[in-house]
Chains A and B, each alone.
Chain A
Amino acid sequence: MLVTGIKSKPVYAPLQADTRGRYHLMLGMGVGAAPLLRVIGEMRGAAQGLKNTRVLYLPDAGNGAAQTGPAGAAPEVERFKAAGVGDVQAFGGTPALLDHFRATLRQSLMGTRLYVAGPESFIGLAMKIALEFNLNKDEIRAEECGTLARRVYCIHCRATTENVRTNIVSCVGCARWLLVRDHYSRRLAAYMGVMVDAEAPGELPPVKEVFL
């Protein structure tokens, strides 16, 4: 139950341009703009340039959560344009970006590469959609940056608690105290939460902020 350090936790790596791809679709949230700009810089120098590159961006509201209102003129959008990407769009919230992402994938062709940069929960939700289109790990690169806050799936009542920064959390569905495990499901885009005090009710380990 209390095992940590397990092998089903996803591993991320700094983004790198994959010039074997023909079309480059980039998703970024908040500080994820920086890795995307770095990749754009790499690609500008390469033979195919940036003509088949599209960026979908979600500005950060400043507290690690996405904005819920209209995007306005986010400064990052200007930076993408200045870097040479003509096809840039900003969104006011995660659902709007993901809807547009899904619509983009419907029109996309083999040879597409997907780059995602942002908090893990943002990456997870994007990957969930990518799965629908049979995009696999060779076609997707993801760099985690920003908050490490997790989505936690309560295995008892199946509710998902968002934005979890602590090692144990009270489930939004059933109020049980859940241990946030490292076992991760791509299908659910969430980590497993298991009742932490079933064997000794009321005995909770100290709550610590670990996923900052």
Chain B
Amino acid sequence: MNAVFKPNETFRGDFSYRNSPQAIRRFPLPFAEDAYMYSVNIEPHLAGPPGSVTEFAFDVDEHYVAECRERDIVLAAEPLRYQALPHMMSSQWDCLELIMESLARDYPQHFLLSRQGNRWHWINRPLEIDQQFTFGDAATLPREPLDYITRQAQGDFVVMDQREGDLWAEAGMVTTQADWSMDFDLGMTFKEWHGPVPLAHELGVFDRALKFLLNLRLGQPVRRLNWTMTIHPRLDTSPENYPHWGPDRATVTAHNAGELVHLRVELQGLWRLPRSNAIVFGIRCYLISLRELATVPKWARRVHRVLKDLHPALIDYKGLTRYRDAAVEWLAPFDDGAPTTPGTAPE
């Protein structure tokens, strides 16, 4: 995306975050039809259409600078939002290499990576970073490799070690999550940290997903979409800060739902890492208000129907209970009952 950055957007306080018309049209709607239920909706992370959120390995959009600033704010108050167990150092370097190589390849106007053997030179123009360092020597970077590079990327990252036929979440930068805690889940296996998700276990979703991921190949990343809703364009909806954002849920009315209620979509990518044989799980978060969403007639109808008919267990788990009815009521006038075309393309 040839974006102009909006560095002063906020995701707290006055919530000045807004999507430009281009950002709205490229929004990754997670509903291909008028109803929603879980599936292992994994697909190869191949290049999507030009300008789309899947065109590149890691999407950099108009919110990039603002999101990096927001991450710094979260970490300054709560350093434990970043954690890495000692044996994960080789995977940290793998992640740094993956992100730097991808950003430099896909956004040469913003990022530059030049290498002479182990001597690397990284330039990040939007964040005004110019860093020379020795790859493999953590002392030559101002922070640990994973900490360092994820402060320059949008979205959360969890690194999973593969051993004993399972995946273990043992490093991560998690500041833009939908209500789960890296600190609490650190060290858990795949099914343990997905423990709280209702219904999916009975459907065998996690058994199949785990089996698939254990065989994930180098050079063949995969992706899927996940979604929930958030009040205000707030990225930090961590359990840690629930006392701050929880009360927002009770302030939604059918009148203000258009501005307050946001669809929150996670574009999740999974890559096998070469030196550590671990897997990095990237969770890229996109926010759009109902009002912005409703500027696309097909999407207004679709989201109205999905929300209206959502399974009660999902309503509860996704935290929509208090405001679901208000959101449905706000969207109702946009739904004339006309059929919607399958697929997510805006119309």
Contacts and interface: CB of A to CB of B under 8 A. Distances in A.
Do A and B associate with each other?
A: yes
A153 B184 CA distance: 9
Interface residues of B, number: 32
A6 B187 contact: no
Given A3-B198, A8-B196, A183-B196, A156 B242 contact: yes
Contact of B188 (A8, A136, A181, A195): A8
B247 A1 contact: no
B234 to A, nearest CB: 14
Contacts of A136: 164
A158 B250 contact: no
Interface string B217-253: 0000000000000000000000111110011011000
Given A3-B317, A198-B247, A200-B250, A192 B195 contact: no
Contacts, number: 80
Interface in A185-212: 185-188, 192, 194-195, 198-201
B243 A183 contact: no
Given A8-B192, A156-B242, A195-B242, A186 B187 contact: yes
Interface string B191-211: 111111110010000000000
Given A194-B239, A201-B247, A155 B316 contact: no
A199 B240 contact: no
Given A9-B195, A155-B239, A192 B246 contact: no
A151 interface: no
A177 B186 CA distance: 24
Contact of A198 (B184, B187, B201, B242): B242
Contacts of B241: 156
A47 B278 CA distance: 42
Contacts of A200: 250
A7 interface: yes
B2 to A, nearest CB: 40
Given A6-B196, A7-B191, A199 B247 contact: yes
The residue in B80, B191, B239, B319 that gathers the most chain A C-beta atoms within 10 A of its C-beta is B239
A176 interface: yes
Main secondary structure of the interface of A (DSSP, over half): loop
Contact of B181 (A1, A2, A192): A192
Contact of B316 (A2, A7, A153, A198): A2
B195 A155 contact: no
Contacts of B179: 1
Interface string A1-31: 1110011110000000000000000000000
B55 interface: no
A187 B250 CA distance: 34
A160 to B, nearest CB: 12
B97 interface: no
Interface of B: 80, 164, 179, 181, 183-188, 191-198, 201, 239-243, 246-247, 249-250, 316-317, 319, 322
Given A7-B196, A187-B186, 17 more contacts: A3-B317, A6-B197, A6-B198, A7-B195, A7-B201, A8-B188, A8-B191, A155-B183, A155-B242, A156-B239, A156-B243, A183-B184, A188-B184, A194-B239, A195-B246, A199-B322, A201-B247
**Shortest Cβ-Cβ A-B pairs, 9 listed:** A8-B195, A198-B246, A187-B187, A7-B195, A155-B239, A6-B195, A6-B196, A8-B192, A199-B246
25 contacts: A1-B319, A2-B316, A3-B196, A3-B198, A3-B316, A6-B198, A7-B191, A7-B195, A7-B201, A8-B192, A153-B184, A155-B242, A156-B240, A156-B242, A158-B80, A181-B196, A183-B184, A186-B192, A187-B187, A187-B188, A192-B184, A195-B242, A195-B243, A198-B247, A199-B322
